[in-house]
Amino acid sequence: MSDDPRLALIAATLRDVPDFPKPGIVFKDIHPLLQDSATFRLVLDLLEEHARALRVDRIVGIESRGFLFGAPLADRLRVGLSLVRKPKKLPFTTIRETYELEYGTDTIEMHVDAVKPGERVLIVDDLLATGGTARAAANLVTRLGGQLAGCLFVVELAFLSGRARFDGVPVHALVRVD
C-alpha cells in the first residue's frame, strides 16, 4: 500500500465482514466509506484525479456499487454515464455478455446505444476481484465501438489477479489488498 495518508484513511474506513456471502470469504464492505461524507468526497476527488488524466468521453458504471462512484464522477468530468446491469433490468434494446465465474457463469447487459463508436470509455466499479465482470463490461464497450481508456476501482483484491485480464489497459485502484 502507498504511504499516502489519504489512501490509508480510505483503507481504514473499509469494513471486513467474515463469511459473507459464504463461509471462507472476507467481504470488503464500502458502506462505512459511503456513510462518512468527508471520506466519500475524498474517494471521489482521487477517482476524479485519475479519470481526468485519461480524458474520457464516457463513464460506464457496473451494477450496482459502480453506479455510486460512476454517477458523481461523470458529473464532475461533464461526460455521459452508461450503465451495465444484470439481465432484464434495462428497458431498451440491449447487448449481453456472458462470462465465467469460479463455479458457473453470469451475464451482464448494456443498451445498444450506451457507447458511441470511437468514444473513450472509463469503466468504474467499487472493487476489482477476479476481473470477470469488469472484463465482460469492457467487451461490451468494444463491441459497441468504444475505445477502452481504462478501468478505475476503489479497492483491488490483488491476490485474485483481476488486473491480468486487462493487458495494455490502464487499471487503477485507490486501495490495494494483497
Which residues are tagged catalytic? Answer: 65, 102
Alpha-carbon torsion (18, 21, 27, 29), positive or negative = negative
Concatenating the DSSP letter of every residue in 48-106 gives HHHHHHH--SEEEEETTHHHHHHHHHHHHHT-EEEEEBSTT--SS-EEEEEEEETTEEE
Report the C-alpha gap between 146 and 80 in whole angstroms. 13
- Rounded to whole angstroms, what are the CA distances from 1 to 4, 27, 89? 8, 19, 37
Number of C-beta neighbours around residue 51 at 10 A: 24
